[in-house]
A = this chain, B = another copy of it.
Amino acid sequence: MKGSRQMTDASNQAAPAGEVVLSLKGISKHFGAVSALTDIDLDVHAGEVVALVGDNGAGKSTLVKILAGVHQPSSGEITFGGSKVTLADPSAALSLGIATVFQDLALCENLDVVANIFLGRELSPLKLDETAMEVRAWTLLNELSARIPSVRIPIASLSGGQRQTVAIARSLLLEPKLILLDEPTAALGVAQTAEVLNLIERVRDRGLGVVMISHNMEDVRAVADRIVVLRLGRNNGVFYPDASNQELVTAITGASENAVSRRAGRRQAQQDMRQEGQI
């Protein structure tokens, strides 16, 4: 019932521009007794930003980790660039051209900012070119409006948002075909968030595929070409940016009567009352 409604939504939208970069068929993932993902299908095209939304624990990060080679799916198949692939470990995904910003960032706290940005991709491996790396690091960070006091201090002494910026800067180093961003703006300030959204648009315009996870519907609608909803580990519909907030929230929470609508209703009532009182 849900599916069909969205299909009609979808039909009056233009098909995404480029060819299919990534295609998932029937991906499932079990952690012991917990089924984190069940039968997930997903296509990402070149030059397209796909937003992945869903409730907490819906399985978004698990899906991203499968695509990044961190977890192996329990079943299902992954097609990348037209051919079936198995992503046995993160380096396999990286060498295919899949860059990822993880929700838990995955930075080495004991290393400094430059070392983290270039980790695994250092310039001149036998005689590290620290100057060139530092310059590039500053360039990347400034592009993201980062406010980092020094790139020579260990990550451990950075603020949450600063760390997230570093993680995003990391992913820009590669020339990937697909970028996976797991809640990239969660800890970012308003300016940095704007820069990241700009960046996503720039990246898309260069013809890359982008998968972005976010709980911020505004941001999602600002940059996404397509919005895929997960619920309790299953596909729960596809939307387009012109879908209303109400629609999206209903798909995410699985009920049109939910905390968000209740809260909105209550606030409306309060405001009404207050206005009445004032009058």
Contacts and interface: CB of A to CB of B under 8 A. Distances in A.
Nearest to A150: B34
Contact of A55 (B150, B183, B191): B191
Contact of A252 (B104, B190, B222): B190
Contacts of A258: 191, 194
A189 B252 contact: yes
How many monomers of this protein are in the complex?
Answer: 2
Interface size class on chain A is 35 or more
A57 B159 contact: yes
Contact of A249 (B190, B215, B253, B260): B190
A189 B145 contact: no
A181 to B, nearest CB: 14
Interface in A131-168: 145-150, 153, 157-162, 165
B149 A189 contact: no
A160 B218 CA distance: 20
B189 A183 contact: no
A110 interface: no
Interface string A253-274: 1000011101100010000000
A195 interface: yes
A193 interface: yes
A192 interface: yes
A69 interface: no
A198 interface: yes
8 closest Cβ contacts across the A-B interface?
A56-B161, A194-B259, A191-B259, A194-B263, A55-B189, A57-B147, A186-B186, A56-B189
19 contacts: A34-B150, A34-B153, A55-B147, A55-B192, A56-B187, A103-B159, A145-B259, A160-B183, A160-B186, A183-B187, A186-B186, A189-B252, A190-B253, A190-B259, A191-B252, A191-B253, A194-B258, A195-B263, A197-B263
